[in-house]
Amino acid sequence: MDSTNTTEISIKVDQVPDNVAAPESRILVVMTGGTICMRRSPDGFVPARGFLESSLAPRPSFNDGSKPDDLQIIVDGVETSYHSLRTPISTYEKHVRYVVYEFAELLDSSSINANGWAQIAEVVYQNYRAFDAFVVLHGTDSLAYTCSALSFMLQNLGKPVILTGSQAPMLELQNDATDNLLGSLIIAGHFMIPEVCLFFNHKLYRGNRATKISASEFAAFASPNFPPLATISSLKIHVSWELIYRPTHIKAFNIQTNRATSDVACLRIFPGIKPEMIDAVLKLDGLKGLVLETFGSGNAPGGADGALVKVLADAVKRGIVIVNITQCLTGTVTPLYEPAMHLKRAGVIPGADMTSEAALAKMSYLLALPGMTTEKVINQMSVSLRGELTEQTATAFAHPRDVLPTHLANLTQLGYSISKGDHEEVERLLKSDLSWLLNESDYSGNTPLHIAATGPNVDILRLLLQQGASVHIRNKSGRTPLFLAANAGLTEHVTLLKQSGAHLHSGEMATAKSHARKHLDLWRAAGA
């Protein structure tokens, strides 16, 4: 126990952040348009440029008056300086420093399409190494579609990407924009939630689980079949860590911007619908997939030999992927009833509890992937890729209410086993429902991955990465696991972390370069 404490103290003393008076997170805010940035005009509300200067700089909650240096943003390979602002220090003793990049053409969300999604993904990808998290400002009409699309386009995501907007413009006296944007910045800047999320009305939702439920209320979005990932109250932010989806592949962050959005369609069943109507849609030139919104738990008119089922079965034989989604706000598609069973036997895929937005986004994503056959798409549509559906065979675990008091004991036990190199014990602890501790930190801010990055057993580091441990969390000295591994001269550890998408933070670069005289090749491999 004493040796562990000595190691942590030496790390804390030796690794002082470079030119940082207080810890800060760096956030890139991407402005696509929408109500949040609108202002009055003779023709009604219109999107307006200069959001940072007009809407954020005058507000003390978004600007502490410290006048920080400009930050660099890369767009289309060109690096440009942008004015940045810093929030006042939070209750978590941290600043959020941010910069706003505005689309060349600000869009109403009803006009955004796959090209807009690709543009957002490209901005995130090109600036991924320079920022700790990303906040995307977007109109509300198609916000759920964009969240679902990005959740599949951003592959092996290791940092928070939070989308938000508002029902009333920021410049209006009564608005929800202030709370939505400030809440998004605080969560993105303080909590490692490596998902595409939607934040609205004090709640953080998994992006591909959310849907718009109101055209006018501030509570405009809901996640009917999945609980919020986090909730902001008057006292604190409550994060449901056991619900967080984390990448479990040892691969770097990448994007897939090819979409087959023009090859898929969505059709809602209604009483008395003619099979000829469905057949006409299924015979559209170039159609490859259909999301079918049915009654209840997946039911549609007609029996096993009915004309409607025959139309669907014929389309499946022609290679068209059809997914069955319920019209109900809550619940799941399951072949419990005879009509739903007829559809499944015809080759229609039960879509479980996916939203229509998620089903469309997932289908267009899969159909555009290189080398994907119809059979592979059908198989993947029934599997949870980004937490977008609840697999029927999955077991749901809930942490007992008395877990929190033993939190430090569990974390200490896990850290001790990692530092000893006891792979078997670490594996046992993670299997005993303690995997939620992976991104928790000790008094020095070190997570289990920080300890493993300098530990004696590289296989433990691999195990933690495969379980979803984040490579981007920095300890209280501002150091990432990659920095610690390079500083310790551990080549295998550095290689493995780089394969998982790790990179040195901008605040570590100066110290890394000064250390590069020792283990020069290793520091170069780490990115110094």
- Taking the C-alpha atoms of residue 407 and residue 401, their distance in angstroms, rounded to an integer, is 11
- Catalytic, 330? Answer no
Q: Which two tokens stand for residue 123?
A: 């901005």
Amino acid at 302: G
Instruction: Choose among 204, 223, 202: nearest CA to 212.
Output: 223
Q: Which two tokens stand for residue 78?
A: 């060109």
Identify the DSSP state of 69.
P
Query: Within 10 Å of residue 376's Cβ, how many Cβ atoms?
Result: 12
User: Looking at the DSSP assignment, which residues form a beta bridge with residue 86?
Assistant: 97
Q: Give the H or E element holding residue 136.
A: strand 133-137
User: Looking at the DSSP assignment, which residues form a beta bridge with residue 472?
Assistant: none
Query: In whole angstroms, how far apart are CA 98 and each of 181, 416, 444?
Result: 12, 37, 25
The stretches of 89-192 forming alpha helices (DSSP H) are: 114-126, 143-153, 177-190
Amino acid at 140: T
User: Looking at the DSSP assignment, which residues form a beta bridge with residue 197?
Assistant: 162, 206
Q: Which two tokens stand for residue 145?
A: 């579609």
Contact 290, 322 (CB under 8 A): yes
Give buried/exposed letters for 470-506 (b at 16+ CB in 10 A, else e). Answer: bbbbbbbbbbbbbbbbbbeebeebbebbbebbbbbbe
- Taking the C-alpha atoms of residue 39 and residue 171, their distance in angstroms, rounded to an integer, is 7
- Taking the C-alpha atoms of residue 195 and residue 467, their distance in angstroms, rounded to an integer, is 15
Catalytically annotated residue among 32, 35, 447, 511: 35
- Taking the C-alpha atoms of residue 321 and residue 375, their distance in angstroms, rounded to an integer, is 9
Query: Within 10 Å of residue 76's Cβ, how many Cβ atoms?
Result: 8
Contacts of 28 by beta carbon, 8 Å cutoff, 6+ apart = 73, 98, 99, 101, 123, 124, 127, 130, 131, 133, 134, 135
Contact 263, 364 (CB under 8 A): yes
Q: Which two tokens stand for residue 115?
A: 């090209």
Work out the angle at residue 151's Cα, subtended by the Cα atoms of residues 373 and 365, and round it to the nearest 5 degrees: 20
SS3 state at 423:
helix
User: Looking at the DSSP assignment, which residues form a beta bridge with residue 46?
Assistant: 39
349-350: strand order across its sheet: 264-268, 289-294, 321-326, 349-350
Catalytic residue IDs? 35
